[in-house]
């Protein structure tokens, strides 16, 4: 039997995949308190970009915690590891040319710095979805605040553990859902994302 030689000596690179998809890959990382509106905006953005013809992937607790991160709890250390793994997954999607939308609480500045370092600032759009604790508790879409008061849930960030808002020199886009209705907030996010993902003109 003759020796088997490889047909190719390299993987298809990111630029080639982006050219095929006609888009620039980017990670849109939405962070903020539970109930601030991260998931609403992430879902809305994914649907809007899909209608625009872009290829996307959405990552959040609902599809990360039960599988990839099922061995993690809710301590600060475990939350940091959760965020690190998500950032590493984002790097794979970047190499595939895919626009990745993350909806992750990311409560500590050190966690956001870690994501920035792993993904790279040129490939990352950080979005702070801001809302007061009172507003988030009133919305409480997953009944987490109610369960926390009753002692039946994991420690709740913002109530039982610290949430660090972005510093004044933080690069994040701020979308305040106390002040903006969902449609306006989504339009602002969409407008910020489009220039980053459109392919460069030849």
For 75-101, give the DSSP string. SHHHHHHHHHHHHHHHHHHHHTT-EEE
User: Could you tell me the two tokens for 24?
Assistant: 């620039």
**Class at the top of the CATH hierarchy for domain 14-194:** alpha beta
Reply yes or no on whether the pLDDT at 145 is more than 70. no
Residue 180: which of 143, 135, 126 has the closest Cα?
Answer: 135
Which pTM was predicted? Answer: 0.88
Q: What percent of the chain has pLDDT over 70?
A: 87
pLDDT of residue 142: 65
% the chain with pLDDT above 90? 63
Token pair in block for residue 162? 């610290």
DSSP label at residue 121: G
As a whole number, mean pLDDT of residues 141-153 equals 59
28-37, 98-107, 143-152, 159-168: the lowest-pLDDT one: 143-152
Give 113's pLDDT tier (boundaries 50, 70, 90): very high
Q: What is the pLDDT of residues 80-111, one digit of tens each?
A: 999 999 999 999 999 999 999 999 999 999 99
């Amino acid at each position: 039997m003759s020796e088997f030689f490889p047909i190719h000596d390299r993987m298809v690179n990111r630029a080639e995949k982006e050219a095929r998809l006609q888009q620039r890959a980017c990670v849109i990382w939405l962070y903020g308190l539970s109930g601030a509106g991260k998931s609403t905006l992430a879902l809305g953005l994914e649907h809007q970009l899909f209608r625009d013809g872009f290829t996307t992937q959405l990552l959040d607790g609902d599809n990360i915690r039960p599988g990839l991160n099922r061995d993690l709890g809710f301590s600060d250390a475990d939350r940091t590891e959760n965020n690190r793994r998500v950032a590493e997954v984002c790097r794979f999607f970047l190499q595939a040319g895919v626009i990745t939308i993350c909806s992750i609480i990311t409560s500590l500045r050190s966690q956001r710095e870690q994501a920035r370092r792993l993904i790279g600032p040129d490939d990352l759009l950080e979005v702070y979805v801001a809302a007061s604790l009172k507003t988030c508790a009133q919305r409480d879409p997953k009944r987490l605040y109610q369960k926390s008061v009753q002692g039946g849930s994991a420690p709740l960030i913002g109530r039982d553990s610290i949430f660090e808002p972005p510093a004044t020199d933080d690069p994040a886009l701020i979308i305040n859902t106390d002040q903006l209705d969902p449609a306006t907030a989504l339009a602002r996010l969409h407008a910020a994302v489009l220039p980053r993902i459109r392919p460069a003109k030849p």
